[in-house]
A = this chain, B = another copy of it.
């Protein structure tokens, strides 16, 4: 117990005591809160043998946040601060809610379903060491004349298969099927420090600077304000970055207007397309199984973020409940084409995902994803495509090295509250009108037909098949001209599942069956793949919730958007993939009376290093 008190004091001194900002009710849990949770739970269960799989803020109800926000200058107490915990104890998944004001457990539930909580780094580390003390595995290495020191074992979620029992921490089955030549190391080096000549072009790069009085944005705790925007940057072990309470100042109305109550990546589904026994189960759910938040990397200044970036740390709970720090987990920076970016990089297994939220004075929010990192590869007997007479389910990238076909589906949770909670989802369909009379020399033109979604079924959309503008509007508010105020979704790279609907991975990933879904706001519907994703059977996905076909017109609604990429690897993606970028835009549509940028005062130039201009 002394250790815990020590930690409490340590983090208190570095974070809370020296930082006199008032905590925001949506601030991520602090190290001292993680330690408090650990103390309370281990004491309550009288054990040290309990694993923490998820600890996150148990958010106050929206109306409490809204009341707190609207009376911020007054003395209203912030809503009670609570945490939601999923822990494994005696082979059961416990769901616990802790209240910080009373330092007590206020709710406990034992989960009865098929799924398992997110994997912890702790259990993955132990599990990946198990083979090295397992005789049949040692025999397999000897058979291949491999040294133990040259071999790395990694842990993969099993989709709907099962090999290692994480509760027992034993290897429950083992096969040694093929002996395939080990791919050569040649050409696989990707660490800059280990590179040998000849080198490619040396880039000079550019510098980025700011006015002497500091950056153009301010950060108070986790609240950011810049230009006409204010928003809150949160963090969760499972989702990674969370942007909340994004509001934009309307100069004509002389007030901030709500746009986004909360937005984050709810799930990333990565099904591989090799049906063989060794690969068929590799259908990863990067948030629900591995945790986008705990996988976030410390950002490298200048490499991951430009020189004018400001950095923020994050803390996640280890499997023992002790907080782990991710230094420089976020960076926030201005771009020269006038926008503000919040960036994080999540390294899930082999892949690196660059997650950007970009705010523009026009009211647009651009959500970007960049994919880089190491491909999912498998060994093969081939060294040239000439030798291949069967489907290898991938691309031959190097000798004995195959990059397996796969998809990346990114499903965003977007609780837009456009000028208030009561919103509707409207499709503006572009329809061809064929001219039958002779009133015009034209034979055709297109016009728009608006369609308001009444229930969830009306709001399931696969993008790309017919021209339609998708918007979340506030049906109770109009511009002076009478147009309904709203925000549009401008899609980026779109993909549709290629697995059949009743295939096991696709049942679990059924939330990708549409690019757009709209649900009524429900505090418990946060994770598109379900609360328990590992070993899940798809009984708690967005597709299941949407099947209830609830009413969504003029209600507090949530927009779910899936974008992404089919990935046929190419040799350039090896050994590390050049960033592949995509994203989408949330853009005001009749939200403002007119272009809000015109009244924005342009920045003054700072440096003109290179000005050959004749102006």
On chain B, the residues within 8 Å of A613 by CB distance are 299, 301, 309, 311, 328
Q: Which of A138-146, A193-201, A257-265 contacts B (4 or more CB under 8 A)?
A: A193-201
A590–B608 contact, CB under 8 A? no
0/1 string, A246-288, CB within 8 A of B gives 1: 0001010010000000000000000001111100110000000
State the main secondary structure of chain A at its contact with B: loop
Q: Is A133 an interface residue (CB 8 A)?
A: no
Most buried by B among A204, A276, A306: A204
On chain B, the residues within 8 Å of A214 by CB distance are 610
On chain B, the residues within 8 Å of A467 by CB distance are 495-496, 498, 566
Closest B residue to A593 using CB positions:
B571
A203–B187 contact, CB under 8 A? no
B199–A393 contact, CB under 8 A? no
Question: Assuming the A-B contacts A200-B251, A313-B614, A572-B596, are A604 and B566 also in contact, with contact meaning beta carbons closer than 8 angstroms in the complex?
Answer: no
Q: Is A601 an interface residue (CB 8 A)?
A: yes
On chain B, the residues within 8 Å of A309 by CB distance are 610-611, 613
Q: Is A504 an interface residue (CB 8 A)?
A: yes
0/1 string, A426-460, CB within 8 A of B gives 1: 00101111110001111111111000000000000
Q: Is A112 an interface residue (CB 8 A)?
A: no
Q: Is A398 an interface residue (CB 8 A)?
A: yes
Q: Is A292 an interface residue (CB 8 A)?
A: no
Contact of A249 among B201, B440, B469, B601 (CB under 8 A): B201
- Assembly CA distance A310 to B595 (angstroms): 30
B446–A483 contact, CB under 8 A? no
On chain B, the residues within 8 Å of A302 by CB distance are 605, 608
Most buried by B among A214, A439, A500, A505: A500
Q: Is A319 an interface residue (CB 8 A)?
A: no
Most buried by B among A160, A206, A338: A206
Q: Which of A37-45, A88-96, A121-129, A575-583 contacts B (4 or more CB under 8 A)?
A: A575-583
Interface size of A in residues (CB-CB distance below 8 Å):
158
A206–B208 contact, CB under 8 A? yes
Q: Is A573 an interface residue (CB 8 A)?
A: yes
Tell me the residues in window 197-242 of chain A with beta carbons closer than 8 Å to chain B beta carbons: 198-211, 213-216, 226-228
B210–A393 contact, CB under 8 A? no
CB pairs A–B below 8 angstroms (30 shown) = A187-B593, A187-B594, A198-B599, A201-B228, A201-B361, A203-B216, A203-B603, A205-B603, A205-B604, A206-B210, A207-B605, A275-B433, A280-B441, A301-B605, A301-B611, A303-B602, A306-B336, A307-B606, A308-B610, A311-B612, A327-B615, A397-B481, A441-B504, A446-B499, A467-B496, A570-B590, A572-B587, A572-B589, A572-B592, A572-B595
